[in-house]
Structure 1
Amino acid sequence: MGQKGRRRQNLARNGVNRRKDSLYQQVGGGDSQNGETLTYSMPYLPEDIWHRIHSLMPMRDAARAACLSRAFLHSWRCHPNLTLDWQTLCSKSKGGGGNFSRKIDSIIRNHSGIGLKRLELDIFDDDRTLPYIDSWLQFAVTPGIEELTLGLYKSAFRPMAELGPLRSLTTLHLCSVRITGDEVGCFLSNSPALEQLKLYDCKEIIFLKIPCMLQRLRCLSVFSCWMLQLIECKAPNLSNIYASGENIKLSLSEALCMKDLCMCFPNVIGYALAELPSIMPTLETLEIGSEDEVVNTPMLPTKFIHLKHLNIQITESDDYFHLASFLDASPSLETLFLDGI
């Protein structure tokens, strides 16, 4: 082959390599080995696509990728999902609560707050954590948040009116949080898109009022809120309620969409027989439990026309025969489960 032929071949080969390299980008995270910086070749994609890929990673993997790549470090500061709990941050660490608090504080300080959609904050209530809580909550409760889970273990969450509307919030879970019923009501009134509300072990709530403006609320769960006496709900499209406690009363101005109801508190069977057929005509699944039931079988003026699944748990000493009223009032019943506590 002549000199011109070899020159054409080299040019062609170099052209192919240049085209191939243009499809990749070199990514270096500052790691070095034997004095040389390590780089990695990644397919070239627009920045917004890499951000999207990064956002779909589990939080641990996303954090590791941010340590490896400067490109991912930028998107980490806008990562939409943060799970800040002991299992995620300290499962392999021998450090105590102080180390745990510093890890959370470092993550929050390095996050821009932009693009945050879901935050789960599950922390311990001790002297090392308390100084940080207010700043963490100010970071978390922003107008763009969609899912908020707070496990504060007796720490206070005092949402103020100046927070403004949280128009994107669809899910709120509060576990062992010191918050009053009025404060919950204030928070709900600023969350018109809320679809799911779950309260667990929130001992300062006595009266829970859910406003009619929550047109999208579908599911309400209230467990172990031992001071709670009354749930007043005016949300028109609520279809699922799960409630347990001591002496909870339900006041539902709108229950025409109710499909699934689970209740556990004293004398709930008599309440269900006397009240539910008329106020929840579309009920399909009913689960009730009582450890202290006064046997008083009322004559039902209306029936559970659509009830298909019935689960009743009562103490073994109770007389099961008084439950026959449920069978008479449930012409569409498909499954019946009776269990002695």
Structure 2
Amino acid sequence: MLVPPPLMEETNGSISSARKRKGSPCQQYDGSQGGQVIPSIDDLPEDIFRHIHALMPLRDAARAACVSQIFRKSWRCHPNLTLSKESLGLNGTVVRNDEMTRDLVSKVDNILKSHSGVGIKKLEFQLMCCKKVDYCYLSNWLHIGVTAGIEELILWLPYGKVAYNFPCSLLPSGSENSIKYLQLAGCAFRPTAGLDCWRRLTKLWLIDVLVTGDELESLLSNSFTLEWLVLLRCSEIVCVKIPCQLQRLSFLRVGQCRELQEIESNAPNISTFRFFGNLVKISFGGTLQLRDIQMDCSRQSNIFYYARTKLMPSVPNVENLSICSYNETINTPTLPGKFLHLKYLHISLIGDEAISPAYDYLSLVSFLVACPCLETFIFEVHQPDMKHDSIIGHRSHLRQLPEHRYDNLKSVMIAGFCSAKSLVELTCQIVENASSLACLTLDTTQGCYNSDGVGKPGICVPMGRDSLEEAQRALLAIRTHIEGMIPSTVKLNVSEPCSWCHAIEH
């Protein structure tokens, strides 16, 4: 990347005054307009040049500053500095880590030394690739870039070495406080009581950061404008306490904090909650605004049971719910409570081993019965081996539960559909009682789906011989027990293993 040279002094006054000199060669005459002067680009106000320069990507802005006196001047006040190996043109270079670190540090150092530090709105350091970066450089860079007026600060450091202690004292306070977005990764963060530099903070991301629950609570108690809070892999946090004063907080994401035992939120307006990792005690303090929940506890069992018995009664107004469990050994119970607002339900069973044969898939009707407004139901089953009783060759009749209506259910997808008798019974129960059902998708492969239940196109997931044979039994179960009962108003989609990639040798 080109680094602009130091700003040169103008010998004949300012650029703006030079433009105004009579007879400037930049002015042109148009004879058709009676000698009227047509302004050139050089006659634009300096603020316009600065705005144009600010919109350029960092590399283009640096190149412009190398060839233009006007842009060279505005470079010293360039508002957006994103400093990474990609923005500095090092992403295509195959070098050892120490060489990468040396090149990146040299370029960042030159850029910041040629910058006045004035006017910076966004300062971003992406230094994950620099395993041996000297933190003395980083401290100097932060002293230059973190000035009054900065709104967005992003610092990503390599995780695993001695943690860099982020200097909270650098952040402007008082009337100069303007920081709105703070994202830290791979460092220690020790906010203390009494700092007022968090008064305008709206988004806080802490990833692989050493911070205690008390330190976090101290910060949150002064962050009344906070709207987003993300805590990922923060290994020192035992309890996350969110005070009721955070009236604007609407998004909370917590994941893989290995010492975490409890999340206690009293913020009244959280609408979106994301959690992944080992299940902990979760309390929302009577929050009625919570609409969207995703919980991925794919290394822990019986999350369906937890969601039905403890989670859902505490969030009565939830509209979208996605939960992931490693295994279920307890059937999902039917309880009297109703969840009148739930419209989207995505549940996943993802195990490295076979799902417990004791789990009755038909018990998932409990969710459907409790959610009269449910419109979309997605159930994913990913297991290397199916141990449930297969309906193929089974002589007993299919079970039928007492009649329940799922009159708003329009779309159902079962991914990883197998020949388990209880799963076929669940499917038949839905078809018979969902009067508004428009689409039923049964996928016998091991494809992956996103939160909307949409498969990843063009991806053929490898399947072992046992899985392929089970897929053939599942297809037979669909033809034998399900296809004949599908109403003409329902579109049935059946996905099977790719015949090119998954041919079974006989």
Q: TM-score, normalised by structure 1?
A: 0.79
Query: Conserved in 2, the CA contact under 8 Å of 1:206 and 1:228?
Result: yes
Return the offset for 1:258: 1.2
The equivalent position to 1:123 in structure 2, one of 119, 124, 127, is 127
User: 1:317: which partner in 2?
Assistant: 355
Alignment match, 2:380:
339
Would the aligned equivalents of 1:235 and 1:254 in 2 still touch at CA under 8 Å?
Answer: no
Aligned-partner SS, 2:217: helix
Q: Which runs of 5+ in 2 are unaligned?
A: 1-28, 164-186, 383-506
Name 2:154's counterpart in structure 1. Answer: 149
Q: Does 1:158 align with 2:199?
A: no
Structure of higher CA gyration radius: 2
1:178–1:123 Cα change, 3 Å: farther
2:60 maps to 61
Aligned residue for 1:244?
A: 276
| Cα separation, partners in 2 of 1:216 and 1:290, compared to 1, 3 Å | same
Task: Mark the CA change 1:317 to 1:171 in structure 2 (over 3 Å): closer, same or farther.
Answer: same
CA contact (8 A) 1:231 1:249 kept: yes
Task: Verify: 1:107 aligned to 2:111, yes or no.
Answer: yes
Instruction: Tell me the percent identity.
Output: 42
Label 1:228 to 1:12 Cα distance change in 2 as closer, same or farther (>3 A). Answer: closer
Report how many aligned residue pairs link the two structures.
312
* 2:304 paired residue number: 269
- Of stretches 215-224 and 114-123 in structure 1, the one that deviates more from structure 2 is 114-123
Rounded Cα–Cα distance in structure 1 between residues aligned with 2:140 and 2:329: 49
Shift of 1:98: 2.4
**CA positional deviation for 1:174:** 2.6
Root-mean-square deviation over aligned CA pairs: 3.0
Return the offset for 1:270: 2.2
Alignment correspondent of 2:259: 227
Task: Give how far 1:177 is off.
Answer: 2.5
| Conservation of the 8 A alpha-carbon contact between 1:146 and 1:170 | no
Alpha-carbon distance, 1:16 to partner:
7.0
Shift of 1:19: 2.0
Could you tell me how far apart the structure 2 residues matched to 1:209 and 1:141 are?
Answer: 29
Matches within 5 A, 1:152-191: 152-154=157-159, 155=163, 156-161=187-192, 163-191=195-223
Q: Relative to structure 2, which stretch is displaced further, 328-337 or 288-297?
A: 288-297
Aligned to 2:87, what secondary structure does the other structure show?
helix
Match of residue 7 from structure 1: none
Aligned to 2:462: none
- Given that residues 343 and 375 in structure 2 are in contact (C-alpha distance below 8 angstroms), is that contact kept between their aligned partners in structure 1? yes
Aligned partners of 1:235 and 1:180: how far apart in 2? 20
Amino acid at match of 1:57: M
Q: For structure 1, which runs of at least 5 residues remain unmatched after alignment? A: 1-10, 25-41
Deviations 1:72-120 (A, max 9, x none): 2333333332222232222144542122233333334444443333333
Amino acid at match of 2:211: I
Mapped to 1, the partners of 2:253 and 2:34 lie a distance apart of 62
TM-superposed CA distance for 1:237, in Å, is 1.4
CA contact (8 A) 2:304 2:332 kept: no
State the shift of 1:312 in Å.
0.5
Do structure 1's residue 91 and structure 2's residue 91 form an aligned pair? yes
In the superposition, relative to structure 1, how do residues 54 and 12 fare at CA in structure 2: closer, same or farther (>3 Å)? Answer: closer
Q: 1:92 to 1:68 in 2, by over 3 A?
A: farther
Q: TM-score by structure 2 length?
A: 0.55
Q: Residues 201 and 68 from structure 1, CA distance in 2 versus in 1: closer, same or farther, beyond 3 angstroms?
A: farther
Does residue 329 (structure 1) correspond to residue 370 (structure 2)? The answer is yes
Task: Note if contact 2:206-2:232 (Cα within 8 Å) is conserved in structure 1.
Answer: yes
Residues 327 and 355, structure 2, Cα contact 8 Å, conserved in 1? no
Q: Which amino acid aligns with 1:200?
A: L
Distance (whole Å) between structure 1 residues aligned to residue 338 and residue 106 of structure 2? 58
Q: Deviations over 1:221-240 (max 9, x none)?
A: 22332332222222221111
The alpha carbon displacement at 1:284 in A equals 1.1
* Counterpart-to-counterpart distance in 2, 1:176 and 1:183: 15
CA spacing shift, 1:194–1:136, aligned 2, 3 Å: farther
Structure 1 partner of 2:320: 285
Deviates more, 1:313-322 or 1:236-245: 313-322
In the alignment, the residues of structure 2 paired with residue 172 and residue 223 of structure 1 have an alpha-carbon distance, to the nearest angstrom, of 14
Whether 1:300 and 2:335 are equivalent positions in the alignment is yes
Judging by fraction of residues, say which structure has more helix: 1
CA distance in 2, matches of 1:44, 1:19: 11
Instruction: Tell me if the contact between 2:274 and 2:294 (Cα under 8 Å) persists in the aligned partners.
Output: yes
Query: Which SS does the other structure have where 2:264 is aligned?
Result: strand
What is the distance in 2 between the residues matched to 1:212 and 1:43?
54
Change (3 A) 1:198 1:17: farther
Rounded Cα–Cα distance in structure 2 between residues aligned with 1:147 and 1:279 = 35
AA at the equivalent of 2:188: F
